Structure 1
Amino acid sequence: MNEPDLLACVEETRSSIFQGDMDEAILLHYDLIMESYRRKPLFYKKLLKYDRFIVTLSLLSFMFADDRVPLSRVKAFCQARGYMSRNSLDTYFSFLLSAGYMQVRLHDEDERQRVFKLTDRAVCEVRQMIDSYVLPSQIVAPYERGLVGAGIPEDVVPSYFHGIARVLYANGTLDQRLPEARWMINRDGGHLPMLALYSDSLRNGPLKVGYKAATYVELSARLGVSKTHIIRMVKEGELRGYFKCRKHQVELLPAFIDLVRKIMAIYFSVARVSMELGMEYGSKRNRLCAAGSLSGE
């Protein structure tokens, strides 16, 4: 599949998901990701900020493609796409190193270069993150081949990131397809504050009823971000036409509901297409390995 066909596939999948009943999938995604978030709120608060999240996907895509790829190549890739500045990348990589999620060593053939590896601990966290996107996406756009409902098998993770790499290179990710959403998701906690507002309102009654501002304290505690952080997001959203604030209540306007659905449709479509590409790649690789084994007998 060439890049134009890949982008067309992502768009077709996104459109199908967006036109479906997304609420059940969004609620499941929120619940799954919050299971991990509650265990390590400080880590996930950093990871889910969109620029860091997309850099992490890039790291894993490069790592599973070539375990000797220099870290500098990942930096160049991320800088070229405007994910983060060089200094911000260095800071984020230092965080991953100090937190025990990444290891770095000198390249075997060129000591001027550093080779990186994300630890098993990091890959375990990432696998749970994949589950939180892929499993909900099956609700609105079931996979033709089907997947195990309990989660993504461990041996599928490298193949999944082969698929993610192709989407990244084709510029099929959220930052490219919906740049106007960046203000909401490129903040501590990423898209979770947005989903918390949406999910809580959905579970407490019709979305149009509104959201009581008194729950900001509970919301900030749940997400490990400050109350001020939540208020700033709402205030900016009000200026952009997504919320209407009246005393102690915030009304979620149709534009906000539409934006949430657009964001999640892209997230889910990228997850689904990446998994399909990964499973196709994994099957092809297994056939080649089997053929090689037979010819060597």
Structure 2
Amino acid sequence: MNIADLLDYLKETSSEIIRADIDEAVLLHFDLIMESYREKPFFYKNLLKYDRFMVALSLLSFSYKNDKLPLSKVKDFCQGRGYMSRNSLDAYFSFLVLSGYMEVKVDVQDGRQRSFQPTDKTLREAAQLIKSCLLPAQMIFPYVGSSRRLERSPDLLKVFARGFAKILESDLLLDKILPEAKWMLNRDGGHLPMLALYADALRNGSLETGYNVSSYVQISSRLGVSKTHVQRMIREGELQGYFKCNKRTVELSPAFVELMRRAMSIYFSISRVSVELGVVDYDNGRVAVDLRNI
């Protein structure tokens, strides 16, 4: 599939998802990802910041595509995309090593290079994050198999990573498809602060009664971020017409609701298409995986 066809397919899948009942899927995604977030709020509020998350996914995807790829090549790729500066990437890689998420060794064939691989801890947590997108997407467009089989599949992460590598290399990610959303994604917590606001409105029934949501204090406490961080995000969004700030609460605009639904439909479509591409990749001679058996 060439880049133009892949972009059309992603947009088509996203449009189908957004035309469906996406709200229940969004709530499931929020609940699933918060299970991981609550265990390590400091780690995840940094990891989910959009550019950092793209670096982490790049490491994971390229490690499955080519387990002999030098770390320097991933660094060059991420720097070229503008995710982080070279010094920031060095610091981030060191953090991942010290935190037990990545192993780095001197390459046996070239002592100037460093090989890398994700640890078992990384693979466990990455699988949970991927499921937080795949399972909600399955609510809307189920595979033939059940979600329970998907959860137990040992090949899920490999399938996803190889397929996502194709989307990553084509640069068809959310910041390119929906650039107006990046101002909210590339901050502490990534998409979770805006997702928390949206989930509040859904669960309080206020999407039909004025879009009022929780106070700054409640949102910041839930996400482990400062009240100032939430206020700054809300004020920035108010200038763009997404929020109306009251003394203690936030009012969401219809424009924000539309932006949120479009962003999440793209998250879900990228996850789903990654699995589909990964299955094709495996069926072409690597590891045969049938979605009906996942």
Into which bin does the TM-score normalised by the smaller protein fall? Answer: over 0.9
1:138-192 superposed Cα distances (whole Å, 9 cap, x missing partner): 122333x445336262222112111000011111110111111111010111000
Report if aligned partners of 1:103, 1:116 keep a CA contact under 8 Å in 2.
yes
2:173 maps to 173
Report if aligned partners of 2:201, 2:213 keep a CA contact under 8 Å in 1.
no
2:25 maps to 25
User: For residues 48-67 of structure 1, what are the structure 2 equivalents within 5 Å?
Assistant: 48-67=48-67
User: For residues 108-123 of structure 1, what are the structure 2 equivalents within 5 Å?
Assistant: 108-123=108-123
- Tell me how far 1:285 sits from its aligned partner: 2.8
Report if aligned partners of 1:210, 1:249 keep a CA contact under 8 Å in 2.
no
SS in 1 for 2:155: helix
- List gaps (5 residues or longer) in structure 2: 289-294
**TM-score of the pair, normalised by structure 2:** 0.93
User: For residues 201-280 of structure 1, what are the structure 2 equivalents within 5 Å?
Assistant: 201-207=201-207, 208-212=209-213, 215-280=215-280
2:292 maps to none
Report if aligned partners of 2:206, 2:212 keep a CA contact under 8 Å in 1.
no
- Tell me how far 1:262 sits from its aligned partner: 1.1
Report if aligned partners of 1:137, 1:268 keep a CA contact under 8 Å in 2.
yes
1:52-109 superposed Cα distances (whole Å, 9 cap, x missing partner): 1111111011101111110110011111122222122112112111111111111111
Query: Using the alignment, how far apart are the partners of 1:260 and 1:212 within structure 2?
Result: 15
1:292 maps to none
1:44 maps to 44
Change (3 A) 1:154 1:167: same
Query: Using the alignment, how far apart are the partners of 2:287 and 2:33 within structure 1?
Result: 34
SS in 2 for 1:205: coil
Task: Calculate percent identity across the aligned residue pairs.
Answer: 56
**TM-score of the pair, normalised by structure 1:** 0.92
Deviates most, 162-171 or 1-10: 1-10
Matched length:
287
- Tell me how far 1:135 sits from its aligned partner: 0.5
2:291 maps to none
Query: Which AA in structure 2 matches 1:211?
Result: N
SS in 1 for 2:111: coil
Change (3 A) 1:287 1:135: closer
- List gaps (5 residues or longer) in structure 1: 289-297
1:148 maps to 147
SS in 2 for 1:225: coil
- Tell me how far 1:287 sits from its aligned partner: 7.1
Q: Cα RMSD over matched residues?
A: 1.8
Query: Using the alignment, how far apart are the partners of 1:203 and 1:221 within structure 2?
Result: 18
1:158 maps to 158
Query: Which AA in structure 2 matches 1:80?
Result: G
Deviates most, 87-96 or 180-189: 87-96
- Tell me how far 1:249 sits from its aligned partner: 2.8
Deviates most, 178-187 or 83-92: 83-92
Query: Using the alignment, how far apart are the partners of 1:287 and 1:161 within structure 2?
Result: 13
SS in 2 for 1:104: strand
Query: Using the alignment, how far apart are the partners of 1:206 and 1:282 within structure 2?
Result: 45
- Tell me how far 1:247 sits from its aligned partner: 2.6
Report if aligned partners of 2:167, 2:274 keep a CA contact under 8 Å in 1.
yes
Change (3 A) 1:80 1:154: same
